[in-house]
Amino acid sequence: MRMLFSWVVVLLLAGCQATQQIDSSSETNDTTGKTPSSDSNSNAVISSDTDTINAAKDGTASSQSDSNKPDITPWNRDDVWERIAMQLKLEVPDHKRVEYYRNWFITHPSHMVEVSRRAEPFLYLIVEKIEERHLPLELALLPVVESSFDAFAYSHGSAAGLWQFVPSTGKMYGLEQNYWYDGRRDVEFATDAALEFLVSLNKRFNGDWNLAIAAYNSGGGRVSRAITKNKKAGKPIDFFSLELPKETSSYVPKLLALADVVANQEKYGISIPPIANKPVLESVDPKEQLDLAIAANYAGLTVTELQSYNPAYNQWATAPEGPFHFLLPLASIDQFTKSVEGNRGKGVKLVRYKVKSGDTLSVIARKHDTTSKIIRTANSLSSNMIRVGQHLMIPTSTKGDDTYALSAKNRLAKTQSTAKGKFKVTHTVASGDSLWTISRKHNVSYQSLAKWNGMGPRDTLKIGQKLVIWKNNSDGAIMRTVHYKVRTGDTISGIASKFKVKSADIVKWNNLAKKKYIKPGQSLKLYVDVTKVSV
């Protein structure tokens, strides 16, 4: 928190100079690319008087300056980006990788325009949390590097949310992940977890933030091994001297370059859209499960707005056993709280369902977009045993699927429908399938297959899961859907031979497993490679 302390000293000692407007671009060292706050001791532990700091934030610190002129502090700026810029502390070295990313940000100004739009609801909250812990404000820029401030981001490495936690690390830092809720996308909780993780890494690497940030990307073990290797070879052990994976070698320079650009917008000729330096959202806990449509109505918001502020909720409601909390606009808090208290126990719709022949608890759960556990809990069932004619109370949504536009199901549908080739094939996962085997069968890369289906390459598949496969001329296949009308004398094997496909695929594509016969006039759906057969 060195810069925080420095600003307090300025307020107390600088006299009339404290009233001058600060131009961050004019204070940059043009020959080194370092920001004015950079120094070789930036990792030192800083202690300061909390009351004095709070007085500076509140604008009540005493000063020898003209009392009619406002003090200039990071906290009375109009723009959160400026608040960050005034407190940056990490050294920005004159290095080719830093220069590369600095130039990238400068020549792609639209990127930061989009980032600022996405960050607007959350950046103030994140900055506050970083300042409370007395950490470098460069950390507020990590979500730009990690996810471009997309709270719904999901990477090839199965990492999710603004801070891109992989499942195991998320669980290690208390972020729950289940059918209803993914704490990695909970902006408030994930920010706390990320900062806790970063602090632990900083301690591990003796206060070196460059190494800590590198370890956040690639893991502490990998960075430690690189340090050990350099020590044995008699080489320096600073970040820029280590042999690290390509992604990590670029990760820290990208962050430092971004920090330099944020601090020196005028110098580099770009303008990042401002974000108001004031609170936007506040956390409120209704202490009961709520349908998101009902919660949105309580708050005076659309369901999509509510979901955009609370991207951790995967389904149509908060998790039955919690968490229940929401980030809501300040203006919505009172209305929401009063509505919750006036409608206790009415936050989720229950429907009465009569068990039919062939029903199982899991089948009923899928029909109602819920889980077997929730139905058991709602009906005080000790097992999954049910009987025909039995009545069950099923918690269900008050609105149709389309209303919950940002639910996991709808986000997946949008991803799968976005064309990535000329022709789309749908594959139903069977026992023994993996992304690797499916990709080889269809002559596509397993990385692409995962991306087309909103997955990571290491994610597991479920039997019955639907995957989309996109093809075009580049892989030698042109897939078309053919609707074939069965003729007298046709057999499945004969049709398969004619269209150069497998009999088993015809059975699977048309759900013929229980009736392996076909009859004249029946229509069959086939996925045919037209480079192998004329259709």
Which residues are identified as catalytic?
146
Distance CA 162, CA 183 (A): 11
Coil, helix or strand for 120? coil
Beta bridge partners of 353: 392
What is the Cα 194 distance to its own chain's centre? 13
Handedness of CA 390, 391, 395, 400 (dihedral sign): positive
How many whole angstroms separate alpha carbon 171 and alpha carbon 441?
A: 35
Largest CA distance in the chain: 101
**Lookup: tokens for 196:** 């806790």
- Give the DSSP letter string of 2-69: HHHHHHHHHHHH-GGGGGSPP-GGGGS-TTT---TT--TTTTS-----HHHHHHHHHT----SS-TTS
- Residue 397 neighbours by CB under 8 Å, 6+ apart: 291, 293, 316, 317, 349, 369, 403, 404
Q: What's the CA gap between 69 and 54, in Å, rounded?
A: 20
312 close to 306: Cβ distance less than 8 angstroms: no
* 159 CB neighbour count, 10 Å cutoff: 19
Element at 479 (helix H, strand E): strand 479-485
How far apart, in Å, are the Cα atoms of 494 and each of 406, 460, 486, 490, 502?
45, 35, 11, 6, 10
